[in-house]
Amino acid sequence: MSADTLEPFVIDIPQATLDDLHRRLARTRAPESLDDMGWDLGMEPEALRTLLKHWRDFDWRAAEARLNAVPAFRTDIEGQGVHFVHVRGEGPHRLPLILTHGWPSCFTELLPLVPLLTREVDGLSFDVVIPSLPGHGFSAAPRAPGMNITRIADLWVQLMERLGYPRFLAHGGDMGAGVVERLRANHASRVLGVHMVNVFNGYPRTEDLSPEEEAFLARAAAWRAREGAYALLHATKPRTLAVGLQDSPAGLAAWMGEKFRSWSDGGGRLDGAISLDELCTVLTLYWVTQSIGSSIRLYHEAFSDVGAMSPPPRQGAPLGVLICPRDILPAPRAWGERWFELQHWTELPRGGHFPGFEVPHLLAEDLRAFARRVRRTKNGTLGKRGACKELTNFRELTRLD
């Protein structure tokens, strides 16, 4: 692929790859369960059996057809192959918006937002771009060290410019939140506003914490001790772990399925918030692209990324935060205000770490509310003053001076 080329991308997994997956699933050697500890020791055995049976019976071709119904492309940016979805909104008044996923998710988590955001509502729609993080799914694995959160933000600027969007809105969750925060920090002239799920709990402790913040950081320390070993393993020995996960679909299902269940608002059920079909779609994408190793390596890159691990600039492009009550560690507003000059803060009544899967309508509504706030901030309230005036404002809003 030559530089600047945007090639349409169609998923077409070879049948031999799917047949091999089914054979491996049929030969699963599940460990014996010696106790009844529920989920306390990790993936619950009965839930794993249910998931593996569903995966064996899962209709990938139907899922493949649904994914291919959304326009997708591949391009090369600085030698890095990037896969992305790109769907233009309805009507003349559109704002460009890039959405970035995290781990163990993938671009499919954000697809439910496409019809919600590309629809014109009150004179506003979005041109939606959803890239796959490098080393995730159909984006190529990085060929050299250093593809960290900061560099991914640089790639996204070039991707959006290549698509004709010199300025744009950005949203992200998990690792994607880190990417959009770096967009705000390092590409202030390019971002109209940044909307992210939650606020990173790993910023340095300060001396003037409120009781609410103290309790939040205490919960964070307890969570890391009880649940955070996966992240340390990803960051320190990703190649060792990848051997088992890339060779065993049952191992992959257990490693990722446990996180989807624990981090979502599903009432303790594996399929309580995210359907087994959605989960098996994600699992199959990681399996057929052999991207589990390159995806978890991003933790190593992220933890050594000085910019991403440092306190962010307090002021900058408008920033909005969405808090889901069943997320891993939902931050209090005081913690967000400590690090950012907030323009928008929303606490949802439900939802967990994967709002694109769990509460897409609520996420889309909040993105629209944030975008309207950005429009008022940049241009003043538009009101109903005629299409020509509004169109001029939209063009001015996204123009790079």
Query: Residues 307-344: pLDDT tens digits?
Result: 999 999 999 999 999 999 999 999 999 999 999 999 99
d(CA 232, CA 134): 20
Active-site residue, selected from the candidate residues 174, 265, 305, 366? 174
Residues paired with 235 in a beta bridge: none
Ordered DSSP codes for 292-351 = HHHHHHHHHHHHT-HHHHSPPPSSSS-EEEEE-TTSSSPPPHHHHHHH---SEEEE-SS-
CA separation (Å) from 276 to 47, 184, 238, 242, 280?
11, 35, 26, 23, 6
Q: Average pLDDT of 172-176?
A: 98
Amino acid found at 84? F
Question: Which CATH entry fits the domain spanning 7-28+47-398: 3.40.50.1820, 3.40.50.460, 3.30.465.10, 3.40.50.720?
Answer: 3.40.50.1820
- Which of 93, 344, 353, 366 does the annotation list as catalytic? 353
Record the pTM: 0.94
pLDDT, residue 380, reads 47
Active site residue 286: no
Give the pLDDT confidence of 184-208 residue by residue, as tens digits: 999 999 999 999 999 999 999 998 9
Q: Where are the domains of the chain?
A: 7-28+47-398
Q: Is 89 helix (H, G, I), strand (E, B) or coil?
A: coil
Condensed to tens digits (0 to 9), the pLDDT of residues 100-142 reads 999 999 999 999 999 999 999 999 999 999 999 999 999 999 9
Cα dihedral sign for 334, 336, 337, 343? Answer: negative
Pairing of strands 191-197, 7-8: unpaired
- Is residue 353 part of the annotated active site? The answer reads yes
Burial readout 249-287 (b: 16 or more C-beta within 10 A, e: otherwise):
bbbbbbbbbbbbbbbbbbeeebbebbebebbbbbbbbbb
Average pLDDT, the chain: 93
Write the CB contacts of 104 (distance below 8 Å, at least 6 apart in sequence). 255, 256, 259, 260, 282, 286, 295
Taking the C-alpha atoms of residue 38 and residue 45, their distance in angstroms, rounded to an integer, is 8
Q: What is the mean pLDDT of residues 161-175?
A: 98
Tell me if 136 sits within 8 A of 174, measured CB to CB.
Answer: no
Q: Which residue has the tokens 């975008």?
A: 371
Nearest C-alpha neighbor of 202 from the set 303, 301, 333? 303
Closest by CA position to 174, among listed 143, 213, 133, 226: 133
- The percentage of residues in the chain with a pLDDT greater than 90, rounded to a whole number, is 89
Query: What CA dihedral angle connects 52, 57, 58 and 59, to 10 degrees?
Result: 160
Q: Is 299 a catalytic residue?
A: yes
Three-class HEC string of 379-397? HCCCCCCCHHHHHHHHHHH
Cα dist from 198 to 171, 182, 221, 327, whole Å: 11, 15, 17, 8
From 299, 305, 344, 366, the catalytic residue: 299
